[in-house]
Amino acid sequence: MGYFGSTIPVTGLNLGYLGQVSRTGVREIASRQANASNKNAISFGDPVQIVSDATGGTYRQIADGIANFSLLFNPFTNFAGIAVREVKTNLASYPYVPGVLQTGNYQAGEMAEVLERGSICVKINVGTGIGQGLPVYLRVLANAGVSAGVVGGFEAQADVAITTTATASAASTAVTLVSGSGVAIGQYVSGPKGIAPGTYVAGISGTALTLSQATTEAVAAGTPISITWTVPLVSLSGRPILAFRTGVLDANNVAEVTLLDRVSA
C-alpha cells in the first residue's frame, strides 16, 4: 500500500511488454510449431528463423540456432520475424513475484505465433542513439568488449570488428586483407560493391579471408571493407527490413520496431 507523499516504484515496462504487437497499422502474424528439437524456448520478442521441412517449417530462436545448431547467420535467408506475446498459462512460475519482470515463451513443440510485418516491442541490448527509420542490428557473434551484447539479440548500432582494405577477383570467395587482426569466422562482411549482401566470414588465416559466397565482381586493391559482429536487418536493395518506429528507448531498454516488409510467407 502507498501512503500520501510516498514514492511508488514503477516495476512494469514503459513502452509495453516484450513481443507486444502494435494495435495500429499492418499486422501480419504467422503460426507454426516451435521446433521439437529446440534447446531453448522462444521468448516473446525474440527474433526467429524457420527450420525447413516438408510441412512448411518450424520456428527456432536465432540465438538457439547460432549457439546449438551451428547456424552462421545470413539476414536474407535466416530471419523469419519476431515472436509475438500471447496470453498463456504459466503454472511453472506461479505465484508471480511482485516487481519481478517475467517474459513468456513458446516451448519446443508448442504452436508459436511470429510477426512477419508490423510493429512490436523488443529488447535493445546495446545502444542508446536510436531514431525513427534507422535500421535495427542483430548480434551474430560475441564481442568480449561489449558485455551487454547478446548473440541473437537486437542492438541499435553496428559493432565493427575491423575496417581495412581488401582485394579480390570476380566470382571468388578468396579475399586478401591489408590486416586480418580481429577477424573471426561468422562475422558479417560489407562495404565494397563486389561483396554480395549477407556475406559472412567462412574462414580466416592471417590476411587471407574466405567468404561465405563468391564476389559478384572484382574488388580493386585498396577498396574499404568492414567486418562486424552485428548484422543490419536490411533487404537486398539496402532498405531496412527492421527499423525503429520512434526514437524512444525506455528505462528497460525496450523499443518499438517495425517490420517494413513481410519477411516470410
| pTM attached to this predicted model | 0.87
Rg (CA), the chain: 20
Residue 193: is its pLDDT beyond 60?
A: yes
pLDDT at site 99: 60
Q: Give me 168's grid cell.
A: 579480390
User: Tell me, what DSSP letter sits at residue 75?
Assistant: T
Domain span including residue 109: 28-130+132-137+234-259
The tally of domains found in the chain comes to 2
Instruction: Say how many CA atoms lie within 13 Å of 57 toward its Cβ.
Output: 14
Tell me, yes or no, whether 213 and 252 share the same domain: no
Look at residue 248 and tell me if it is in a domain. yes
- The answer to whether residue 144 sits within a structural domain is no
Whether residue 254 is found in the same domain as residue 125: yes
The pLDDT-based confidence of 107 (bands split at 50, 70, 90) is very high
List the grid coordinates of 4. 500520501
Same structural domain, 198 and 243: no
Give the pLDDT score at 12: 55
61 belongs to a structural domain? yes
pLDDT average, residue stretch 50-61: 92
Mean pLDDT in residue range 21-50 = 94
CA distances from 70 to 73, 128, 140, 209 (A): 9, 30, 11, 20
72 and 200 assigned to the same domain: no
Range name among 2-6, 16-20, 226-230 with the lowest pLDDT average: 2-6
